[in-house]
Amino acid sequence: MAHLQPTGSQLHPTATGLDGLPAWGHQYSANRFARLFNLSVGTSTIPVQWKKARNRPVPKQSNLKQHSDYRPISITPVLARVMEKTLVRSFLYPAFLSPPPTMNFSD
């Protein structure tokens, strides 16, 4: 199994997640989070807390008259975003670049 190493120094200053912690604050606990990531990948499970999101309406325009004048954004936990990015970069991109013989990406 590949060990995932999220690097806190690569985190961008994004909105805080449902945990209320800013992205930069997670870099100080990167080793513990790497352990959580590896456990998650090793057991093929995702913590329930990482699956939660809060939807916020954001105005599309200044003259708001109806619900369709808003677009929804989902505020997700920072750890879930880091985990997703790490998995995509570690497993998905390499599979597309050099697919195993048993993997077929065509219809």
| Residue 20 backbone zone (phi > 0: left; psi -120 to 50: alpha; other: beta) | left
pLDDT (average), residues 38-50: 88
Question: What is the per-residue pLDDT across 83-100, written as a single tens digit (0 to 9) for each?
Answer: 888 888 888 888 888 877
Query: Is the Cβ–Cβ distance between 58 and 72 less than 8 Å?
Result: yes
Q: Has residue 41 got a pLDDT over 60?
A: yes
| One-letter amino acid for residue 100 of the chain | P
Q: Has residue 18 got a pLDDT over 70?
A: no
pLDDT confidence of residue 84: 87
Query: pLDDT class for 43, splitting at 50, 70, 90?
Result: very high
Question: Cβ neighbours of residue 7 under 8 Å, at least 6 residues apart?
Answer: 27, 30
Measure Cα distances from 84 to 40, 95, 106 in Å.
12, 15, 24
pLDDT confidence of residue 105: 67
Domain parsing of the chain, residue ranges: 15-97
pLDDT confidence of residue 7: 47
Summary mean pLDDT of the chain? 77
pLDDT confidence of residue 28: 66
pLDDT confidence of residue 8: 45
